[in-house]
């Protein structure tokens, strides 16, 4: 079959293209070979050597395997220099300045910097020319030596770092736990204070029901217009002073004293309360005859001489700073000082609590009087106290010191020059709660004036915190006669380890502390000593479910 014209044309075009490609390839080979030969010849004559060096340098930059190697060495050196710096910084954070660790790592970092700044190596880094392999090898050797040293030092220091880190973490944990413990203690102390100082609902109920009875039958309970009973001023009888706003507690004191008295009709109880509780107190002590004992109930407001112009405590209570200290409603203020938080209770500055310093003026016809707190229970006849020779002293009290505890230094600020000059910090403290006072000696020694002097000086609370014991210790510093400890056993409101034998032998037991016997937080082993003198048979007590 004959070839068509189209096929012949296609074959001709293909043959021409192959021929043209072959000719082009031949020409390239010719010119390349000729050009290479020409430059070699010129180079041997020294005519074009510079041109050849530049061409080779450019090629070297593109293809020289030493360049990545140099970059790698430089990066390793810089990485280990930074690692040494970080370890030095970490050592400072872990407070290792006193050891050589910080210094060693700082020197390692400097060694890397000094090495990389050597002239032959800086030239190597900055040069655009071919890399001198011998210089590179020397650099690599020195870098490896320093890396080896750095890793060795890090390995040796790692255990120390780990230990220090553990210690630091432990310290942080201890600090955090202490912070939480301190906060919990403050909150606990504040909650305990609320539990101890709040009035139970049942106790408040009794006061309200007694007051209701007083309002309903005023003629039965009022003493207004009636002449003062001669027994109330008879110095031959046994007189007691009880200052309280707690109706049940005051009745327990009188109940226990009269039930244990051999001749209760010879005992006179002077009960003083505030105006708010006066009606309830009057009803309580008129509901029974207390074995023939004589009971006087008065309000503190009935003693007209007790005013702010005469009494420092009343004057101080009028100051804005003291009112802010006591009554500002801030939890952080209440819990700022856990140790002395209880002294923020306003009762420590109430006149009812400070009446004990005015006994001679309140009872001018009496020679001797026994002061009783409202949280005590009388267990024996107390007339033996009137037979004690007071040796001219004013205050008969049981001392509480043992070892270094309950010394004057714990109650007063002996950094104050006035306190330091006047008192012995090791002097033994005594207790309020049951105190036998010789009122004639009191008047002779001018003890009330002494109390006023020091109370005025302590207006800014720099001599002692607050409360009545510190000013009592000061007022009766040299005029206190120690009594036998069995007269007055303390601690039933906070110390569960008091022996029952000691309690049994005590004439008076004292529930001083937060765990008062009328509260739910009272200690069960001691509470029956108090509750057996509560008049549970009274309808007012039963109606309020007191003690249930």
pLDDT in tens, 236-249: 999 999 999 999 99
Structure tokens at 105: 């790592």
Q: Write the burial class of residue 439 (CB in 10 Å: 0-12 exposed, 13-18 middle, 19+ buried).
A: buried
Q: Residue 63 domain-assigned?
A: no
Tell me how many domains the chain contains: 2
pLDDT of residue 41: 40
**pLDDT at residue 302 is higher than 90:** yes
Q: Please, which contacts does 489-495 make with residues 24 or more away whose CB atoms are closer than 8 Å?
A: 490/398, 490/400, 490/431, 490/433, 492/517, 492/523, 492/526, 492/529, 493/375, 493/517, 493/522, 493/523
- Domain final residue, candidates 196, 225, 242: 196
HSE of 501 in the Cβ direction (CA atoms, 13 Å)?
A: 0
- Tell whether 310 and 369 lie within a shared domain: yes
Please state, in angstroms and rounded to a whole number, the distance separating the CA atoms of residues 440 and 71: 104
Residue 32 lies in a domain: no
392 and 458 both lie in a single domain: yes
- Final residue of a domain: which of 196, 223, 243? 196
Task: Name the average pLDDT for the chain.
Answer: 83
Residue 7 within a domain: no
Residue 381 has pLDDT above 80, yes or no: yes
- Indicate if the pLDDT at residue 163 is higher than 90: no
288: left (phi over 0), alpha (psi -120 to 50) or beta: beta
Q: Note whether 416 and 386 are same-domain residues.
A: yes
Range of the domain at 176: 112-196
Give the mean model confidence (pLDDT) for residues 512-532.
94
- Name the pTM for this structure: 0.68
Average pLDDT over residues 531-539: 94
Q: Domain check: are 147 and 242 in the same one?
A: no
Are residues 131 and 219 located together in one domain of the fold?
no
Q: Which residues make Cβ contacts (< 8 Å) with residue 176, sequence separation at least 6?
A: none
């Amino acid at each position: 079959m004959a070839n068509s014209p189209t096929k012949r044309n296609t074959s001709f075009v293909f043959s021409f293209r192959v021929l043209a490609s072959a000719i082009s390839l031949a020409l390239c080979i010719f010119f390349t070979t000729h050009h290479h030969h020409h430059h070699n010849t010129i180079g041997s004559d020294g005519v074009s050597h510079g041109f050849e060096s530049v061409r080779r340098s450019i090629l070297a930059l593109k293809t020289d395997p030493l360049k990545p190697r140099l970059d790698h060495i430089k990066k390793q050196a810089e990485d280990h220099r930074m690692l040494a710096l970080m370890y030095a910084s970490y050592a400072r954070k872990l407070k290792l300045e006193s050891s050589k660790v910080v210094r060693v790592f700082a020197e390692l970092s400097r060694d890397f910097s000094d090495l990389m700044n050597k002239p032959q190596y800086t030239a190597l880094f900055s040069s655009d020319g071919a890399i001198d392999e011998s210089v590179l090898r020397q650099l690599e050797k020195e870098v490896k030596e320093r890396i080896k040293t750095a890793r060795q030092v890090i390995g040796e220091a790692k255990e120390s770092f780990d230990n220090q880190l553990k210690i630091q973490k432990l310290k942080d944990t201890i600090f955090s736990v202490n912070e939480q413990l301190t906060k919990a203690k403050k909150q606990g102390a504040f909650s305990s204070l609320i539990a101890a100082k709040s009035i139970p609902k049942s106790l408040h109920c009794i006061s309200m029901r007694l007051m209701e009875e007083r309002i309903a039958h005023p003629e039965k309970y009022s003493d207004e217009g009636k002449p003062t009973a001669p027994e109330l001023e008879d110095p031959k009888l046994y007189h007691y002073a009880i200052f309280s706003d707690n109706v049940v507690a005051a009745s327990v004191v009188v109940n226990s004293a009269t039930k244990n008295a051999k001749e209760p009709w010879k005992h006179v109880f002077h009960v003083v309360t505030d105006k708010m509780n006066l009606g309830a107190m009057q009803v309580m002590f008129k509901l029974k005859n207390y074995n023939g004992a004589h009971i006087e109930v008065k309000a503190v407001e009935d003693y007209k001489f007790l005013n702010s112009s005469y009494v420092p405590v009343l004057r101080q209570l009028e100051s804005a700073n003291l009112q802010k200290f006591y009554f500002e409603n801030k939890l952080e203020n209440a819990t700022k000082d856990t140790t002395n938080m209880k002294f923020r209770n306003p009762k420590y500055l109430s006149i009812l609590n400070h009446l004990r310093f005015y006994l001679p003026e309140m009872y001018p016809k009496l020679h001797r009087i026994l002061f009783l707190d409202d949280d005590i229970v009388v267990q024996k006849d107390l007339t033996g106290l009137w037979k004690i020779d007071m040796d001219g002293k004013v205050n008969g009290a049981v001392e509480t010191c043992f070892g270094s505890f309950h010394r004057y230094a714990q109650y007063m600020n002996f950094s104050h020059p006035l306190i330091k000059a006047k008192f012995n910090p090791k002097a033994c403290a005594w207790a309020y709660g049951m105190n036998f006072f010789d009122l004639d000696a009191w008047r002779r020694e001018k003890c009330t004036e002494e109390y006023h002097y020091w109370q005025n000086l302590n207006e800014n609370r720099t001599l002692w915190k607050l409360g009545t014991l510190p000013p009592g210790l000061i007022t009766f510093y040299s005029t206190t006669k120690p009594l036998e400890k069995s007269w007055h056993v303390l601690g039933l409101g906070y110390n569960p380890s008091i022996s029952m034998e000691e309690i049994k032998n005590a004439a008076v037991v004292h529930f001083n502390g937060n765990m008062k016997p009328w509260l739910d937080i009272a200690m069960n082993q001691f509470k029956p000593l108090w509750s057996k003198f509560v008049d549970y048979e009274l309808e007012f007590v039963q109606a309020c479910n007191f003690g249930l």
